Amino acid sequence: DGDLMQVWNRHSQAVSGTAGYARNEVHIHELDSKWFPAIRDELASRGLPPIPEKLFQAIKDYATGGPVLGGINPNVKRMMQFANLVYLNPLALTQAGEVGGAIAMVHVDNFMHSLPSSFDAVFKNKLHPIHEDLQHLNSSIIGEHNLFHPHLALQETRIKTGMQSELASGVVNLLATGSRVQGYVSGFYKVLQLENNVVHSSFLHKLAKAFKADADGDPVLMLNELRKRDSGWNPQLEQRIGKYFIDGTVTYTKRGFVENLNADRWDPLDVQEFGTIVNRQVAQAIQKDFAGESYYWAHETTGAFMTHLRKYPLIAFNKMLIRNLKVADAEAGMVFLYGLLTGAAAYAARQAV
């Protein structure tokens, strides 16, 4: 199992799930034989409706690091992978179409300042000091395609789905490898890495200006309170993090942009909490869903098939449209305007290609 990052993620999820049950004196291997039957009996004795069997399976899968609901039917999954190879060649242009919303959320000046150094980091492998700290907050900075290798079909091998014969195994590996090659040839991997890189950097510049404005009492640059709460800020955390940006720990360029976080001088807990908030904000800007932001039925065979090639707009509808309508500030208006501009440009480019 050569994909260390994938192994570690799965292992940490299984360990944390097992520990969570153990804390409540539940042994993970007794779920099917003891605890699930006890839950069914308790519900029946109270006259309450039963819990669907799929939900029990989802609970167990999540706690043990396995695929949700046992994974997608292997034959359906192969059909979906084949459709991806046919339809997703212009994927880089589609990904670029969402940049407008991200620019509006991080502000144009921050985006334009971050773009050259992010370009060097992605295409010349020359990391700016700000990226040295960022890559420990989110691996997307150095490219998820460099860390995760789904073309190795590790999950399928582990749960033995789609590997019942040498022919089936060959088809799985061929489709997965084709998807990997498509990511490089279409430019999707590099565009996604560049977008993650520049948006992460831009958010840091935006937050730094907001902290300095807060200290100076400048209401123009201060962050919207509703947006802060949505991202996970609270007054205590804001005070702890803000001191690093105004006491000299974080260094700045002559134009007021962040030059170096100097995260090695931060409290480790503050680094972790700050990274979580930045990742949450970036995930909204680039429309990446976290655990709990999509329905579990979308990960089973029927739901996955019905939402195939539609999941991206569904996530965008939730993370960009609904959340910005909830805030309804000037930034939300700019998100729609900039998003329309870059979306139209990307669509026109796709039609031309």
Give the residue-averaged pLDDT of 258-270: 87
Comparing 96 with 61, which gets the higher pLDDT?
61
pLDDT score recorded for residue 14: 74
Query: What stretch of H or E contains 259?
Result: strand 258-260
What digits encode the pLDDT tens for the residues 178-203?
A: 888 888 887 888 888 888 888 888 88
Query: What stretch of H or E contains 260?
Result: strand 258-260
Integer Cα distance of 125 and 113 in angstroms: 18
Query: pLDDT averaged over the chain?
Result: 76
8 A C-beta contact, residue 188 and residue 92: yes
Question: Residue 45 — very low, low, confident or very high, per pLDDT cuts 50/70/90?
Answer: very high
Give the residue-averaged pLDDT of 236-265: 87
Q: What is the model's pTM?
A: 0.69
Give the residue-averaged pLDDT of 155-162: 52
Comparing 121 with 313, which gets the higher pLDDT?
121
| Alpha-helical regions (H) of the chain | 4-23, 36-45, 53-64, 74-87, 91-96, 99-106, 108-123, 129-137, 154-159, 166-185, 188-216, 225-231, 235-246, 268-285, 301-306, 311-316, 323-327, 330-352
Go through the chain and tell me how many residues it has: 353
Statement: residue 1 has pLDDT above 50: no
